[in-house]
Amino acid sequence: MSRIGLQMYTLRDYTKTPEDFKNTLRRVREIGLENVQITPPGFFPVEETARLLAENGLKADSVFRPTGKVVADIEQAKRDAEIFGVDVLRTDSIPEEMRGDADGYRRFAEQMNAEGHACKAAGLRYIYHFHAFEWINFGDVRGIDILLNETDPDAVMFQPDVFWLTNAGTEPSVSLKMFRGRAFTMHVKDYAIRRLQGKIEDVPFHFASVGTGNLNWPGIIAAANEIGIERFVIEQDICDGDPFDAVKISFDNLNKMGIH
């Protein structure tokens, strides 16, 4: 099975109708992808989504539940995971009301532990996808440090994203190593700079296909392999031009870098 996946959020504008959704799955497979991170669209239940994935030679890598709803919905999440044939539950960001201080991050770490343990009891692995804002420095500790250090390594895993590691002011080939033993999948996209127009303080960074920006990909891939990353998931939040072309560039460049 390929180590390259696609977060379908990248193609969200092409999955708004049943017919577009089906056509998009076909085009994703034509690019060469086999794995997707997907949330079933409102017009298809999990069973039909799984059937369409299989029909197109694709497989989901996880199920999704928002933070705060994992524990209450764990039985349905487990059933959805069985339908998809996966053992991973991914969740989203710390709520805005908890982001203001270190105590809020500590409360959220407690919530992550509860959700992670509920997943573990259900036979699922729980992963949290962070962005850049979790790297906020509260003077003696950063938000991400609290989430890492105050959660149970046996129940709470993370999904790093090399773009957001860069946006947070770190070198991804270095900061990835913080997640040794705490991550098995990560998001990949490049970090590029547009031509400056306006004040020099308004750095015009943007999302780019893997291999077309400024990231240290040899170092990133070496670090990812060192810490045990199994899956490189393409996620390009905003694409210049055709998103399918952007995904193909990332897929082809990852292959050229030795990720298959």
DSSP state of 100: S
E-strand stretches of the chain: 4-7, 35-37, 59-60, 63-64, 88-91, 125-128, 156-158, 185-188, 190-193, 205-208, 231-234
Neighbouring residues of 12: CB distance < 8 A, sequence distance ≥ 6: none
User: Which pTM does this prediction carry?
Assistant: 0.97
Q: Considering the domain 4-188+214-256 in this protein, what is its CATH number?
A: 3.20.20.150
Provide the residue-wise pLDDT of the chain in tens; the chain has 260 residues: 799 999 999 999 999 999 999 999 999 999 999 999 999 999 999 999 999 999 999 999 999 999 999 999 999 999 999 999 999 999 999 999 999 999 999 999 999 999 999 999 999 999 999 999 999 999 999 999 999 999 999 999 999 999 999 999 999 999 999 999 999 999 999 999 999 999 999 999 999 999 999 999 999 999 999 999 999 999 999 999 999 999 999 999 999 999 99
The domain segmentation of the chain, as residue ranges, is 4-188+214-256
The values of phi and psi at residue 241, to 5°, are: 85, -155
Q: Which two tokens stand for residue 251?
A: 């897929």
To which residue do tokens 């891939």 refer? 221
Cβ–Cβ under 8 Å, residues 168 and 205:
no
DSSP state of 195: P
